[in-house]
Amino acid sequence: EIVLTQSPGTLSLSPGERATLSCRASQSVSSSYLAWYQQKPGQAPRLLIYGASSRATGIPDRFSGSGSGTDFTLTISRLEPEDFAVYYCQQYGSSRGITFGQGTRLEIK
Amino acid sequence: EVQLVESGGGLVQPGGSLRLSCAASGFTFSDHYMDWVRQAPGKGLEWVARTRNKANSYTTEYAASVKGRFTISRDDSKNSLYLQMNTLKTEDTAVYYCVRGYSSSSPSFDYWGQGTLVTVSS
């Protein structure tokens, strides 16, 4: 299976700052099948980005995704208070299964 | 409005069985692949199983951790998704989410249910 490693494990920032979250794959992932999710405590995950760079319906444009091959990035241009949560990357194009990264916790500094 | 409502979770002993259900509404269920994803308490997300749509012969896939023990199925006439879980282990304890999968007109994993908790313990 493809292993996704997210970094950092925890990111401490203040509202208004820029957040950069990384997702590295153990082997090449088709950009068409790389997604990012946000999860808040007690809630189901919410799809933010699919196809590495396409925003899901209703997602603010301060969220952007980029990358290809084995290195992908989620950027939040200017943090709002509601953005502090756990973020997961996911690949869903491999014939050997669908996998998630272990998550990055974005906390208020 | 798309809705996915899971049911069937609860407490079960190791070695036991449980059947989860997911009632879907607000979209053409038969067009979509459907998935189950789980999350152990305090842990990350783990994909469990997928069923494709009729156009793709309802083929299924499973995570290695559940293959041979879990069975995913669907009833398009009832807009319902199921997960039959047998030979349950303590490590199967998790919140199980029903997730809308791929279709030709929408991205995969775009809608999630609220989850149902399965606890495997003696």
**Residue range A4-25, pLDDT digits in tens:** 999 999 999 999 999 999 999 9
Phi/psi for B30 (5° steps) reads -65, -15
- Using alpha carbons, list the distances in angstroms from residue B116 to A12, A85, B119: 31, 21, 10
Compute the half-sphere exposure of residue A83: CA atoms within 13 Å on the CB side of its CA.
27
Question: 């007690």: which residue's tokens?
Answer: A42
pLDDT in tens, chain B (122 residues): 999 999 999 999 999 999 999 999 999 999 999 999 999 999 999 999 999 999 999 999 999 999 999 999 999 999 999 999 999 999 999 999 999 999 988 889 999 999 999 999 99
Which runs of E-coded beta strand occur in chain A? Answer: 4-7, 10-13, 19-29, 34-39, 46-50, 54-55, 63-76, 86-91, 99-100, 104-108
Minimal Cβ distance to B112: which of A45, A51, A99 = A45
- State pLDDT tens for residues A71-95: 999 999 999 999 999 999 999 987 7
Banded model confidence at residue A97, pLDDT cuts 50, 70, 90: confident
Q: How far is CA B92 from the centre of its chain?
A: 13
> Inter-chain contact A97–B61, Cβ cutoff 8 Å?
yes
Minimal Cβ distance to B63: which of A46, A50, A97 = A97
**Residues 1..60 of B with a Cβ closer than 8 Å to A: which?**
35, 37, 44-47, 50
What's the pLDDT at B105? 86
> Inter-chain contact A51–B97, Cβ cutoff 8 Å?
no
- The alpha-carbon radius of gyration of chain B (Å, integer) is 14
CA distance A26 to chain B (A): 17
The more confidently predicted of residues A1 and B91 is: B91
Q: What is the mean pLDDT of residues A35-41?
A: 98
> Inter-chain contact A37–B64, Cβ cutoff 8 Å?
no
What's the pLDDT at B73? 98
> Inter-chain contact A35–B46, Cβ cutoff 8 Å?
no
CA triple A44-A46-A47, angle to 5 deg: 145
What's the pLDDT at A30? 87
* Residues of chain B found within 8 Å of residue A102, distances taken between Cβ atoms: 44
> Inter-chain contact B47–A1, Cβ cutoff 8 Å?
no
> Inter-chain contact B97–A90, Cβ cutoff 8 Å?
no
- Using alpha carbons, list the distances in angstroms from residue B95 to A29, A57, B105: 28, 25, 28
| Whether A101 contacts chain B with CB within 8 A | yes
